[in-house]
């Protein structure tokens, strides 16, 4: 059984994943570029590393949960020389297809096994160990990472052996998630503009074939104007850009996702990037 796990990146998602790993009985070391974000995890039982070398030395699995490709690359270029050759790198950050290819090549140059494993879920599933792990990697590496995935996830979907297959499914799923949030913001904003109580819209679809738990959750946040971050708006802007990029590369029409990206980015640029992605409703208000 995998014993030692280094979690690099202890933001909203990484901190929750680290706690889930600790509860599962794994030996967890955490590191974050802003050290103050990692230190509270010491009270949960993690060892807090002040530098990358000490964070990854002796680890069986190095798990990255950072914002984007550049952040992951910068961190792992420093960390990989200290990673043991029998260790595995589990890459859970959403970085897109080109980003995943770059990171897989980086792992290969250092002779470290690489698992492409983005996750579906936000703050609470991360804290509860209830994420859905969308994994891709060689069959012979899967048993070694099973204790990690069992700790952080309620479900593991092995998509394929090719690095990037996990991301292909993640981008597909996120295209639907972001579309639901954008459409909900449009409907809530339209109701408000038409001088209706937007709760009437949520009540209208409740329990019917058009209902969606995510619409109810995000719609209520939009109506209340309260946006504690479960999935930050800045991340939604980043992910929608990655999805549109993947669609263009695959030859799929990207106009809807590009329009959604423009709305997420506009709300982020207006100062709401650290709020929950439900704050995209600000982009629908003139």
* 8 Å CB contact between 255 and 262: no
Left if phi > 0, otherwise alpha if psi is -120 to 50, otherwise beta: which for 58? left
Domain boundary at 163, 181, 197, which?
163
Domain check: are 102 and 208 in the same one?
Answer: no
Domain check: are 174 and 158 in the same one?
Answer: no
pLDDT, tens digit (0-9, with 9 covering 90-100), for 198-239: 999 999 999 999 999 999 999 999 999 999 999 999 999 999
Domain check: are 150 and 172 in the same one?
Answer: no
Domain boundary at 141, 163, 185, which?
163
Mean of per-residue pLDDT scores for the chain: 97
The pLDDT-based confidence of 286 (bands split at 50, 70, 90) is confident
Domain boundary at 140, 163, 186, which?
163
> Residue 224: which domain range?
168-284
282 token code pair: 């600000």
Task: Please give the average per-residue pLDDT across 79-90, as a whole number.
Answer: 95
Counted residue by residue, the chain has a size of 286
CATH number of the domain at 127, please: 3.40.50.720
Strand partners, 30: 7, 48
Whole-number pLDDT of residue 276: 98
Say which residues have a Cβ less than 8 Å from residue 101's Cβ, sequence separation at least 6: 163, 164
pLDDT, tens digit (0-9, with 9 covering 90-100), for 139-152: 999 999 999 999 99
Domain check: are 173 and 77 in the same one?
Answer: no
Phi, psi dihedrals of residue 65, rounded to the nearest 5°: -140, 80
* pLDDT over 90, % of the chain: 97
Whole-number pLDDT of residue 189: 98
* 8 Å CB contact between 267 and 283: yes
Q: Find the angle CA(64)-CA(65)-CA(68) to the nearest 5 degrees.
A: 105
CA 216 vs CA 37, 202, 220, 221, 222: distances in Å = 31, 6, 6, 9, 10
* 8 Å CB contact between 156 and 149: yes
Domain check: are 45 and 157 in the same one?
Answer: yes
SS3 65: coil
Domain check: are 202 and 117 in the same one?
Answer: no
SS3 198: coil
* pLDDT over 70, % of the chain: 99
pLDDT, tens digit (0-9, with 9 covering 90-100), for 230-275: 999 999 999 999 999 999 999 999 999 999 999 999 999 999 999 9
Domain check: are 150 and 182 in the same one?
Answer: no
- Residue 2 pLDDT greater than 70, yes or no: no
Indicate the number of domains in the chain.
Answer: 2
Domain check: are 113 and 182 in the same one?
Answer: no
Q: How far is residue 62 CA from its own chain's centroid? A: 16
Whole-number pLDDT of residue 153: 98
Domain check: are 11 and 105 in the same one?
Answer: yes
Please spell the DSSP secondary structure of 117-170, one letter per residue: --EE--HHHHHHT-EEEEEE--HHHHHHHHHHHHHHEEEEEEEESSTTHHHHHH
The pLDDT-based confidence of 1 (bands split at 50, 70, 90) is low
Task: Please give the average per-residue pLDDT across 175-183, as a whole number.
Answer: 98
Domain check: are 137 and 212 in the same one?
Answer: no
HSE on the CB side for 57, CA within 13 Å? Answer: 8
Domain check: are 135 and 41 in the same one?
Answer: yes
Whole-number pLDDT of residue 73: 98
- Residue 175 pLDDT greater than 70, yes or no: yes
Domain check: are 146 and 185 in the same one?
Answer: no
Whole-angstrom distance, CA of residue 89 vs CA of residue 187: 42
CATH number of the domain at 278, please: 1.10.1040.10
């Amino acid at each position: 059984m995998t014993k030692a796990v280094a979690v690099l990146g202890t933001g909203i998602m990484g901190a929750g994943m680290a706690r889930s790993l600790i509860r599962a009985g794994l030996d967890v070391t955490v590191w974050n570029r802003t050290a103050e974000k990692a230190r509270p995890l010491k009270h949960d039982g993690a060892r807090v590393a002040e530098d990358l070398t000490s964070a990854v030395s002796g680890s069986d699995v190095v798990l990255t949960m950072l914002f984007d490709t550049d952040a992951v690359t910068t961190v792992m270029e420093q960390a990989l020389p200290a990673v043991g050759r029998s260790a595995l790198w589990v890459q859970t950050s959403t970085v897109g297809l080109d980003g995943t290819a770059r990171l897989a090549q980086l792992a290969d140059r250092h002779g470290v096994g690489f698992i492409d494993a983005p996750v579906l879920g936000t703050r609470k599933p991360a804290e509860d160990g209830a994420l859905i792990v969308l994994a891709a990697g060689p069959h012979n590496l899967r048993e070694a990472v099973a204790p990690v995935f069992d700790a952080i996830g309620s479900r593991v979907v092995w998509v394929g052996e090719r690095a990037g297959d996990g991301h292909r499914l993640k981008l597909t799923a996120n295209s639907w998630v972001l579309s639901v949030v954008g459409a909900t913001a449009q409907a809530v904003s339209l109701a408000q503009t038409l001088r209706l109580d937007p709760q009437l819209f949520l009540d209208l679809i409740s329990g019917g074939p058009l209902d969606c738990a995510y619409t109810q959750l995000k719609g209520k946040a939009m109506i209340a104007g309260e946006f504690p971050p479960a999935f930050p708006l800045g991340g939604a802007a980043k992910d929608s850009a990655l999805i549109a990029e993947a669609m263009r590369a695959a030859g799929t029409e990207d106009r809807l996702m590009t329009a959604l990206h423009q709305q997420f980015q506009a709300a982020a640029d207006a100062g709401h990037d650290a709020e929950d992605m439900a704050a995209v409703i600000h982009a629908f208000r003139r």
